Structure 1
């Protein structure tokens, strides 16, 4: 997976639990250009990798520099702890940029919503829109003053197009319906943040008459989950039956059993790991599928979803 090699130039405390990690190309060669909304997968020393958005900061635009934003998740699987342990001089390996959250082309206006660390891809979108003199507005929400990262660069990039909202202040709390009411009728809508924010924006946009395809999103925290119980997955092509333990993802169980699986986000929002369900009832925990797709139980996202039946038979 690792294709790019870096040396950490510096890390910057952007907010409580949020760091910006500035990476220089290890050999000084120009790095691949990246589109706004892109991420790289960072290789972890204990094995595996995790996605982190590329942040287009005005102060770090040299062709041999990338910036990543990482929030520390104490109860996470270790990726954020590794990112927060990095210091100047450390070596880091990543994939090439991956763009599963693209910004539309053309002159149509954009309405951007970000919650917490979800600001990282949205900041790069705002930067691209501002540089191209394309109309946009950014609504950035967080728990309270001092908890929002990258507010300095955002003010520089967005100017009056930036609205900051604090959950603990009624006067500034984000009103998604009001924000959509002021959006141009032809606006494209982007949201990145917790599942609750994504669901709220999708619902409010539908109520205002925006077509579902006009709302694009990326999930930055795992979707809410129910109780985890053990179950089995059968791979139809080989007949292999794999046990999935409580707390273990289907992807991890399959890879442990030697089954190659295609995936990216591992959060249930990119759709890359979607596969067909031939038998059994999935426990859908993604934010990708439509209500009709969920009700059919014929497809599922195997990075986060589980089973309501003792066994799932997958079209793999």
Structure 2
């Protein structure tokens, strides 16, 4: 754990606010690589505390610049429909205040190699991509980026990206093009040896994965991703009678709450990390129940077997679920 001071809090546009964090004594911080994030402790509207993870930003194409940095730089998109973490970062947190932060961790690493890295960013998903672009440029490795958003006025870091990438940057604004980014056309322009790194909303990632699979791509090898979203209530979601076989407890999971959060609220201590169905840390054995898999971790075979689920995002198609915990 680190206790850091907010040295800068700056609004980049109506939705995105940037923060710079440093030690009180200005000393060096733990290093990180492109794609890494820190977890920040936030205070929710009800006074409780929780953690949010934010990608670390580095726009400098220089080797070693993130090995022992004197500050961390993050950017937060305001989500008015969320639980309140982003509102805390936008409305409450100011320069001079302190934050409790967990040291950097990288679940979205950029692979080395001479093949071109194709970076695909949507909205606030640009934050890890900026660091990836800088790292590839510092290495003299081939890279290009596709950056999509609703409008240029809501797309952060365009000046930095333009300076860094020049003609290797393709900016797509929905309001200018009159349509969303054409994922199919993007994939059709990719060479067979190029890897894609995708970060953005779920609808973008789902479109990339579906288009890649329809083209016969090996998505596990060629597509690397990180989501910037939280679980949403889907049509047909209903309360679940949740039975914990080992303890004998029976809980009710509301339609608008994840199984993981229900367990936490009822005094359980499950393992978890991303809360978005990406990392696999919260994988839990299932004894009974028809699983509604919504994760990006399990293979098609594992999902078909139906004996394990990611409780941070997946649910039950029926009304009763028995977990081996």
TM over 0.5: yes
2:224 is matched with: 216
Corresponding pairs, count: 314
Q: Give distance in 2, aligned partners of 1:27 and 1:238.
A: 48
Aligned to 1:74: 80
Q: Distance in 2 between matches of 1:151 and 1:27?
A: 32
Given candidates 43, 54, 63, the residue that maps to 2:69 is: 63
1:150 aligns with 2:122: no
3-state secondary structure, aligned to 1:105:
coil
Distance in 2 (CA, whole Å) between partners of 1:257 and 1:64 is: 40
Residue pairs, 1:260-299, within 5 angstroms: 260-299=269-308
Cα deviations across residues 35-86 of structure 1 (Å, max 9, x unaligned)? 2111111112331211111111339968220011100001101110111122
Check conservation: 1:164, 1:172, Cα contact below 8 A.
Answer: no
Judged with a 3 Å threshold, the aligned counterparts in structure 2 of structure 1 residues 259 and 172 are, in CA distance, closer, same or farther, namely closer
**Could you tell me how far 1:250 is from its partner in structure 2?**
1.3
* 2:238–2:319 CA contact under 8 A, matched in 1: no
Following superposition, the deviation at residue 172 of structure 1 comes to 8.4
- Name the counterpart of 1:5: 3
Alpha-carbon separation, structure 2, partners of 1:52 and 1:313 = 33
Q: Distance in 2 between matches of 1:100 and 1:216?
A: 10
2:167 corresponds to: 160
Aligned ranges for residues 30-179 of structure 1 at < 5 Å?
A: 30-45=28-43, 46-58=48-60, 63-85=69-91, 86-170=93-177, 174-179=181-186
Q: How far off its partner does 1:189 sit?
A: 0.9
Hey, what does 1:229 align to over in structure 2?
238
SS in 2 for 1:258: coil
CA distance 1:76–1:66, shift in 2 (3 Å): same
Deviations 1:235-279 (CA, angstroms, capped at 9, x unpaired) = 233222222223222112212222211111112222221222111
Asked whether the equivalents of residues 129 and 135 of structure 1 are also in contact (C-alpha less than 8 Å), the reply is yes
**2:20 paired with 1:22:** yes
**Structure 1 residue 171, shift from structure 2 partner:** 7.5
| Alpha-carbon separation, structure 2, partners of 1:4 and 1:261 | 23
Q: Distance in 1 between matches of 2:153 and 2:200?
A: 18
| Length-normalised TM-score, structure 2 | 0.89
Alignment check: 8 A CA contact 1:142 1:166 kept: yes
Alignment deviations for residues 290-313 of structure 1 (CA, whole Å, 9 cap, x no partner): 444333332221112222222211
Q: Compared with structure 1, are the counterparts of its residues 308 and 173 closer, same or farther at alpha carbon in structure 2 (3 Å cutoff)?
A: closer
Match of 1:241 in 2: 250
**Structure 1 SS opposite 2:154:** coil
Q: Deviations over 1:141-194 (max 9, x none)?
A: 001221111111111222221110011233885222222222232111111111
Note closer, same or farther for the CA distance 1:315–1:264 as it changes in structure 2 (3 Å cut): same
Does structure 1 conserve the Cα–Cα contact (< 8 Å) formed by 2:231 and 2:258?
Answer: no
Deviation at 1:198, TM superposition (A): 0.6
Query: Alignment RMSD, CA only?
Result: 2.1
Deviation by residue 1:113-163 (Cα, 9 ceiling, x = unmatched) = 011111111111111111111111110000122111111111122222111
Please report how far the alpha carbon of residue 34 of structure 1 lies from its aligned counterpart in structure 2 after TM superposition: 0.9
**Gap change, CA 1:303 and 1:23, over 3 Å in 2:** same
What's the CA shift for 1:94?
A: 0.9
> So what's the TM-score if we normalise by structure 1?
0.92
